[in-house]
Each structure stands twice: as structure tokens, then as C-alpha cells.
Structure 1
């Protein structure tokens, strides 16, 4: 089950940044490998305090490239201070990342994906919906099986990337949610299970 608004609000901005960075580093890698190294990331990124992380310069990131405890991917390491700045910008506008995420209507969750992909760093593809799922924000994830189910129902004819296709998928999930009362995360899994391989 997704977290409720109070639970999302209770998460500090450091946890939003840590989870965002974890999502970025997990992309394309074995999750258990990343998870095993995560305590070192928490240490070198000052517990993912966004204010401290935004002060990290290029020389700090370069030193991290020599740290064997970390996954030494320069682009992903550089994304952390950039995403920390995103969280600080959102905090300035909305009070906290938790307030921003919890207040965003699930009936426009694809709009939140687009915002995170546009303003965040390394947040394209399925990273934004997976990040929201990791946080506990109710979201569907358009995996291959979910897309196959949506294609079989005539909602889309390919993986949704255009605003038009994302709007059609959002509308389909809104309808399913309205009819069933189930959260998007459950509907996503149920749709995926309808696909025969």
C-alpha cells in the first residue's frame, strides 16, 4: 500500500534526496550491489542533507571517483548535488519535498513524472515513477508488461513517452482507480499480471 500524506510529510528532505540518489544509482545495476554500498554513500554525501550536498564542488566529486567503497560513475555522482538543488528549490516554493510530493494529485501522476524528469538529473525513462514508488507515493510504473496490457486494451500502441500517450495512460488509470477504488500501485501490478508470456 502507498504511504498516506502524513507519512510522506514525515520524511525529511534528506530521505527524499537519499532515495532519489538510490534510484539513480540503481538504474542499470543490480540493486543488491548498490544497496550493499549505500552506507558509504550516506557517509560521503553527509547523510544526504541537501544544503550540505549542494556545496559539494567538482573537486569533491573527483575525490569520490577514487573511493572504492562507492560506485564510481561520474555522471551519477554529479547528479546528487544537482538533485539536492532541485529539492532545495522545491522546499523554497512548497515548504518541503514531502509537502510537494504528498500534495501532488495522483490523478496527474504523469505530470509529476514529467516535472521530475525535466528538473531532476538522471531522472528520465522509468526513473521518476520508480522513485515515487520507492518513496511510497501512489504511482503506476509503465513496465513492459503494463504497456503490453495497455496496448491490448487500445490505450496506446507503444511505450508512452509523448504527452498525448501519457495523458491517455493517466486517463486509463484514473478510470480503473475510480471504478475499483484500488491504488495505482496495485492496479499497475494487476495489469502486468494479465499479460501472457
Structure 2
């Protein structure tokens, strides 16, 4: 996506890798309202632990192929044969704990959707009203809100999703708009967030 040709008006963190730049320009910080993409990001943030996000991003197409496009209802049915199949797949991160956590989290996502009515609506209750960058310009690694989100999911039996991972998820999926204010994507993300959040009830601010 050629949203802009000038790297000077982007955030400072994307590298010159075209895949990374496209991810920043077209995805990062934009409100995600698809339940499969939200579940995917929770899982991939877990796989990313200890690795660069670019590594995960380059493997994402294969992750989608082997994890049923992150249809959590389908992944919830995976068994021991699927775990072994995934451990043999060099196209993903072959980490037994993370693979088993993804299957576990799919099962927990099914439960959450049944209890809360909608995975999308529940996730978006955690959106922040005023992103930290708007308050003081600093971007934390985690917040009280991300810690509360991680704690809630842990209580529900989810794995590999701590406070720092939770905040990275919130940033990437638009629950917080942490683009630099000079970045061309900042205002677009702010407008998309405002439109999506209109009429929604959010949890009390942290």
C-alpha cells in the first residue's frame, strides 16, 4: 500500500522492509472489528514473545494456513495430531507451549463468546478513551488497563498473554492510537476509532 512515499511522516519504528512498512501504513493502530483477526493477533503476539514482530509478520501467511485462518471455533477442535503436525511445520514458530496455548486460547475464546455474546464487543470494551501519547507523548510498555485485560483473560484460562503483550495488542488493533502525532496515519486512525467507538460503553479509564 503506497499511502505515502515519505518515511519522514511515518512513526519512527518501522524498518525499511516493505512488509513492515505496509503493516504500519495499512494495519497498525486501525480499528479491527473482525473476530478472527482479533483472535489471530492475540495468538501471534504470544508467538512473538522473544522474537521480532517482523519475524512473525513474514510468517503470518503460513500461520493463517495451518491455523484455519484463525477461526477460533475450528482451532478449538485441534488435537494432539494437530500439535505434532504444527511442530513439524518450518513455516511457523515451532514452540510446543505456544502452539498448545493457541489451541487452549481458541477453546477459551469459544467460551468467552458464549458468555459475553461477542468477542469483538468484549475486546472493544477495553479501548482507551485518550491514548497515552495524547496525554504526555510517552508510550509505555504496559498500562494498568493492559494489565487488567491480561488478568481478566488469565482468569478465564488464556495463556501467553501478559500485560506487555496485551498493550502491544491494544496498540496494533486500534484500541489505543499510539501513532506519533506527526505520522500521516495518526489522524486517520483517530477518526476511524472515534467513528467505531461512538455509542459504545467502555470500561472505566485506568
TM bucket, shorter chain: 0.5 to 0.7
Paired residues of 2:37 and 2:70 also in contact (CA < 8 A): yes
Q: What's the offset of the Cα at 1:105?
A: 6.5
| Aligned position for 1:60 | 82
Instruction: Determine the structure 1 residue equivalent to 2:170.
Output: 132
Task: Output the CA distance in 2 between the equivalents of 1:96 and 1:35.
Answer: 27
1:99-156: CA deviation from partner (whole Å, max 9, x where unpaired): 002224648724223112443211125112222222211389xxxxxxxxxxxxxxxx
Matches of 1:25 and 1:104, distance apart in 2? 22
| Structure 1: distance between partners of 2:108 and 2:173 | 16
Higher RCO (CA-CA < 8 Å; seq separation 6+) = 2
In the TM superposition, what are the counterparts of 1:26-175 in structure 2 within 5 Å?
26-104=48-126, 106=128, 109=145, 110-118=147-155, 119-138=157-176, 174=206
Moved more, 49-58 or 128-137: 128-137
Within 1, Cα distance between the matches of 2:63 and 2:40?
A: 9
Work out the number of aligned pairs and report it.
138
8 Å CA contact 2:29, 2:174 repeated in 1: yes
* Normalised TM-score (structure 2): 0.59
The counterpart of 1:16, out of the listed 35, 38, 56, is: 38
1:62-112 CA distance string (max 9 Å, x none): 111111111111111111111112221121122211100222464872422
* 5+ long unaligned stretches in structure 2: 1-27, 130-143, 179-203
Structure 2 contact 149–163 (Cα < 8 Å) conserved? no
Q: Which stretch has the larger CA shift, 108-117 or 11-20?
A: 108-117
Runs of 4+ in 1 over 6 A off after TM superposition: none
Deviates further, 114-123 or 36-45: 114-123
SS at match of 2:122: helix
Q: TM-score, normalised by structure 1?
A: 0.62
